[in-house]
């Protein structure tokens, strides 16, 4: 407790160091925000020195924005993967808006304010990944927000493109990519790799930057993929079916069900597996380097 009372911050968050499985039911629950910013339910699985395992939820019609206490601006690469529902992210200062549905992501980089909305009819679940860490683990976000600047003049959208759409769409998209502004990332435009020879697995990378690499994979029943090793830390979430991960050096064997999380420190040899009877799908983030 501080001199003025309790601090609005999550309690008993795991510190990731070693390979760690965190079932969904064991994630720390935290309510981000206040009456002005609106409240956002968080599921916090853990935090390491480089990345965290975090999901946030928005019910139909719910939103988050800035307040005097909570200011959603972070000088990071930011990646929001939509597991369920629909997510709209808005830059209130330049008017950029990006919409992502289940299986898609919103990405941007740099210190940009962002507001989030659920204009859909079902609850939205979002994997919240970012790098690098913008504050020490012992500094609550609510304290860090107090040192952040207030948002500038509000823009509801890109009024500068009225009368120029869709003819200006390609140039606008190119500008967004080059300047690190908000974009929607989809599977059909992802960077794909076929991992392995005997039991190949399609790795779908939605984003790969100097700060993070994030993507998904699907694995067929009775398949054990070949060994992978990353020079960065990894967080893995099961999305569908039962995802298994085998560590051949230590013989550890993990089983993940939907929205369970696994942390793997850098340099950990691992194999993705599916011992179930149906297809399995997972989402992952590696930071800073994938290879």
pLDDT at 135: 80
Which of 135, 158, 185 represents a domain boundary (last residue)? 185
| pLDDT band at residue 290 using 50, 70 and 90 as cut-offs | very high
pLDDT digits (tens, 9 = 90+) for 127-170: 999 999 878 777 889 888 888 999 999 999 999 999 999 999 99
Instruction: Specify whether 178 is located in the same domain as 46.
Output: yes
pLDDT digits (tens, 9 = 90+) for 234-274: 999 999 999 999 999 999 999 999 999 999 999 999 999 99
Number of domains in the chain: 2
Structure tokens at 53: 């395992």
pLDDT digits (tens, 9 = 90+) for 206-241: 999 999 999 999 999 999 999 999 999 999 999 999
Q: Determine, yes or no, domain membership for 222.
A: yes
Q: Determine, yes or no, domain membership for 1.
A: no
How far is it, in rounded angstroms, from Cα 22 to Cα 34? 28
Q: Is the pLDDT of residue 38 over 90?
A: yes
pLDDT digits (tens, 9 = 90+) for 6-29: 889 999 999 999 999 999 999 999
Q: Determine, yes or no, domain membership for 6.
A: no
Instruction: Specify whether 140 is located in the same domain as 191.
Output: no
| Nearest C-alpha neighbor of 46 from the set 126, 137, 125, 131 | 137
Q: Determine, yes or no, domain membership for 104.
A: yes
pLDDT at 134: 78
Which of 127, 151, 185 represents a domain boundary (last residue)? 185
Instruction: Specify whether 173 is located in the same domain as 192.
Output: no
Domain that holds residue 158: 20-185
How far is it, in rounded angstroms, from Cα 230 to Cα 265? 9
Instruction: Specify whether 94 is located in the same domain as 224.
Output: no
Q: Determine, yes or no, domain membership for 4.
A: no
pLDDT at 176: 98
Instruction: Specify whether 47 is located in the same domain as 175.
Output: yes
CA distance to 82, 122, 147, 215, per residue, from 125 (Å): 6, 10, 29, 16
How far is it, in rounded angstroms, from Cα 26 to Cα 33? 22
Structure tokens at 79: 């990646």
Q: Is the pLDDT of residue 1 over 50?
A: no
pLDDT digits (tens, 9 = 90+) for 171-206: 999 999 999 999 999 999 999 999 999 999 999 999
- Quick one: 167 exposed, middle or buried, by C-beta within 10 A (0-12, 13-18, 19+)? exposed
Q: Is the pLDDT of residue 125 over 90?
A: yes
Instruction: Specify whether 194 is located in the same domain as 282.
Output: yes
Instruction: Specify whether 91 is located in the same domain as 200.
Output: no
Evaluate whether 179 touches 44 at the Cβ level (below 8 Å).
no
Instruction: Specify whether 173 is located in the same domain as 199.
Output: no
Q: Is the pLDDT of residue 289 over 70?
A: yes
Which of 160, 185, 210 represents a domain boundary (last residue)? 185
pLDDT at 191: 98
Specify the CATH number for the domain of residue 273.
Answer: 2.60.120.10
Instruction: Specify whether 37 is located in the same domain as 92.
Output: yes
Q: Determine, yes or no, domain membership for 3.
A: no
pLDDT digits (tens, 9 = 90+) for 49-103: 999 999 999 999 999 999 999 999 999 999 999 999 999 999 999 999 999 999 9
Instruction: Specify whether 213 is located in the same domain as 266.
Output: yes
pLDDT at 2: 47
Q: Tokens 């679940």 sit at which residue?
A: 125
pLDDT at 136: 78
């Amino acid at each position: 407790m501080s001199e003025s009372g309790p601090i609005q911050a999550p309690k008993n968050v795991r510190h990731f160091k070693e390979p760690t499985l965190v079932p969904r039911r064991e994630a720390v629950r935290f309510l981000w925000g206040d009456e002005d910013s609106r409240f956002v339910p968080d599921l916090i699985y853990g935090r390491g020195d480089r990345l965290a395992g975090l999901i946030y939820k928005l019910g139909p019609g719910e939103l988050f924005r800035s307040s005097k206490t909570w200011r959603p601006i972070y000088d990071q690469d930011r990646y929001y993967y939509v597991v369920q529902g629909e997510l709209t992210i808005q830059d209130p200062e330049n008017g950029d808006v990006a919409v992502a549905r289940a299986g898609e992501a919103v990405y941007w980089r740099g210190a940009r304010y962002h507001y989030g909305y659920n204009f859909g009819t079902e609850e939205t679940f979002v994997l919240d990944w970012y790098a690098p860490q913008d504050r020490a683990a012992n500094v609550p976000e609510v304290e860090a927000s107090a040192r952040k600047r207030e948002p500038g003049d509000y823009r509801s959208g890109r009024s500068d493109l009225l009368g120029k759409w869709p003819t200006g769409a390609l140039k606008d998209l190119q500008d967004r990519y080059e300047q690190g502004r908000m974009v929607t990332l989809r599977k059909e435009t992802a960077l794909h790799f076929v991992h392995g020879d005997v039991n190949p697995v399609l790795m779908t990378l939605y984003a790969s930057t100097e700060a993070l690499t994030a993507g998904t994979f699907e694995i067929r029943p009775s398949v054990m993929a070949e060994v992978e090793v990353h020079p960065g830390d990894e967080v893995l979430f099961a999305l569908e079916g039962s995802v298994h991960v085998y560590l051949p050096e230590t013989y550890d064997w993990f089983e993940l069900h939907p929205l369970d999380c696994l942390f793997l420190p850098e340099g950990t040899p691992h194999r993705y597996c599916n011992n179930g009877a149906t297809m399995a799908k997972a989402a992952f983030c590696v930071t800073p380097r994938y290879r």
